[in-house]
A and B are shown apart, each in its own frame.
Chain A
Amino acid sequence: AQKVTQAQTEISVVEKEDVTLDCVYETRDTTYYLFWYKQPPSGELVFLIRRNSFDEQNEISGRYSWNFQKSTSSFNFTITASQVVDSAVYFCALSGGWAGSYQLTFGKGTKLSVIP
């Protein structure tokens, strides 16, 4: 069975601070995919990034960066110089690599509040 754990339920930071959202996953698959989604108050889930299990390169996109470490089964997300618009619930998710396992298994989410 697949499992995603986001231990941080809520985080509050002051604007311009850096913040890291943790994600730990469990899977028996050798091929799998990891994702981060953002859910602003409007409710729609917005895709941020996808990583496959064979690509451990870290990625940076503007103020966002992701650190994937298979050795610790973690896929952490860092926001640099946070802004009020970053306030949202962030979900880490995992899917398998074979037909019948493409569904997303989500963590419980981390609610990020950025205070001006």
Chain B
Amino acid sequence: KAGVTQTPRYLIKTRGQQVTLSCSPISGHRSVSWYQQTPGQGLQFLFEYFSETQRNKGNFPGRFSGRQFSNSRSEMNVSTLELGDSALYLCASSPGTGGEEQYFGPGTRLTVT
């Protein structure tokens, strides 16, 4: 099976802009989760989507949003970018029935200047 794919791999944006990141889960997986990784805060949960519904959300401002499509592909959007949004954004997929291991994509490295 193909693994989790994320596009783009690298992105450079300017403060105030918005960005959309994309994630394609493993075939058959219905859950997609997003995580932000920074040197200071480590790995933090952003949100989880299951069957096109947001099932859980982490403690991030409303500038961070996401959605999931009927084919389980997911996008996350960050509006009004701030310097502190520079991070590695990781997408993970799992069957979604609970407690299973999550498989991660290679991540999108976002740099905000």
Residues of A participating in the B interface, judged by any CB pair closer than 8 Å: 31, 33, 35, 37, 42-47, 50, 52, 91, 95, 97-109
- Report the separation of the CA atoms of residues A116 and B59 in the bound assembly, to the nearest whole angstrom: 42
Query: What is the interface of chain A mostly: helix, strand, loop, or mixed?
Result: loop
Task: Write 14 A-B pairs (CB below 8 A) sorted by A numbering.
Answer: A35-B101, A46-B104, A47-B102, A50-B100, A52-B99, A91-B43, A95-B99, A102-B33, A102-B55, A102-B56, A102-B98, A103-B58, A105-B45, A106-B43
Q: Does B90 contact A (CB under 8 A)?
A: yes
- 0 or 1 for each of B85-108: is its CB under 8 Å from A? (1 = yes): 000101010101011111111110
Residues of B participating in the A interface, judged by any CB pair closer than 8 Å: 31, 33, 35, 42-45, 48, 50, 55-56, 58, 88, 90, 92, 94, 96, 98-107, 109
The answer to whether B104 and A45 touch across the interface, beta carbons within 8 angstroms, is: yes
**A residues within 8 A CB of B45?**
103-105
**B residues within 8 A CB of A102?**
31, 33, 48, 55-56, 94, 96, 98-99
